[in-house]
Structure 1
Amino acid sequence: MGGKQDISRRQFLNYALTGVGGFMAASALMPMVRFALDPVLKPTGNQKMVQVVSVDELTKEPKRFDFKIHQVDAWHKSEESRSAWVYKHGDEIIALSPICKHLGCTVNWNNDPKNPNKFFCPCHYGLYEKDGTNVPGTPPLAPLDRYEHKVKDGFLYLGKAKPRGEG
């Protein structure tokens, strides 16, 4: 007897119905899967610059300024609070993120008596210089992120905080 194997009518119907049923199920599920994943797969737009403070309020000493950004995460729109340590260095404005690069705690300026004129993270005793550079021998392995910024009509606008070295 040759290698040809006949399939019964019952097996054929079973294969055909399974195939048609699978096709129909996939057709019904595809729009739901696309609806669920589409917002997640869309590229996120650049964060808009947000007005934070009048440039006249900036000094050589870092000051903390709080502001809100409008955020869209897939299906959810919200306002999120942010903070920045901002100061003038000559004609340049420096805007630093207060988020420690070690484990994400919040740094404060000049609040550790043992380390004056430095940013200090109380969680694990991290230290940063005034320009946000991490002090060697302390937990942070990278400098504080810097905010994109611009000045328009006498006001400072901040955008996204970026790690040093990003363009």
Structure 2
Amino acid sequence: MSNHGKQDKANSSAKRGISRRQFLSYTLGGAGAFMAAGMSLPMIRFAVDPILQKKAGGTWIKVVEASKLTNEPQEFKFKIHQVDGWYVSDPELTAWISKDDSGNAFALSPVCKHLGCTIGWNTEKNNEYVCPCHGAHYTKDGKNLVVAPKPLDEYDLKIENDWVYLGPIKANTRVK
């Protein structure tokens, strides 16, 4: 066999296989892709799992005995258990609960619809809710009188076994 034949045979075998540089490049690239997938899958699951979980129905919170309610609004504090994605907390909320002229109980949110300050009842001795921040005024039913663009929000309310239960906040249904 001549030198020329050996050279052709060496060139043809080099063309069939991969070089050492290509092997290392493929190996490192594959290992890097495997590690990137291993790191990103838990992050994707962390972000998507809370979205896929079924939402619980509206929960009712036991707040006060119905016999303690009066026609004069009273401030009641209560805690709710909330899960926001992976964050679990028990914030304390407040509601102004009273009875209307027909004796029906209702609960209003204390959050002013102007800029979100906390309102108080009868602080100016005028039988109105008043916002201490910017002077918004509301009637006993939560109707906006001055400054605020909307009436106070209302809690869903039910009475069972002489206890007042509050549900989610909704737009005020007492005023138009």
TM range (shorter): 0.7 to 0.9
**4+ runs of 1 displaced by more than 4 Å?**
9-19
In 2: Cα distance, 1:120 partner to 1:44 partner:
36
Give TM-score scaled by structure 2 length.
0.75
Question: Whose helix proportion is higher, 1 or 2?
Answer: 2
Q: Among 68, 91, 107, which residue is 1:95 paired with?
A: 107
Matches within 5 A, 1:51-62: 51-62=62-73
- Do the aligned partners of residues 17 and 163 (structure 1) sit closer, same or farther apart at CA in structure 2, a change above 3 Å counting? farther
Partner of residue 45 from structure 1, selected from 53, 56, 81: 56
| RMSD, matched Cα | 2.5
More divergent stretch after superposition (27-36 vs 37-46): 37-46
1:118 to 111, 116, 128: 128
Match of 2:164 among 115, 139, 156: 156
Cα distance in structure 1, aligned partners of 2:130 and 2:161:
33
Stretches of structure 1 lacking an aligned partner (at least 5 in a row): 1-8
Residue 83 of structure 1: CA displacement? Answer: 0.7
The change in CA–CA distance for 1:44 and 1:103 in structure 2 (over 3 A counts) is farther
Structure 2's unaligned 5+ residue stretches are: 1-18
* Richer in strand (by share): 1
Separation in 1, partners of 2:164, 2:48 = 35
Q: Report Cα offsets for 1:102-135 as digits up to 9, x if no partner.
A: 111100111124xx11110010111111111111
- Deviation string, structure 1 residues 52-77 (Cα, Å, up to 9, x no partner): 11111111111111111111122232
User: CA offset at residue 30 of structure 1?
Assistant: 2.9
Match of 2:97 in 1: 86
> Given the two structures, how large is their TM-score scaled by the length of structure 1?
0.78
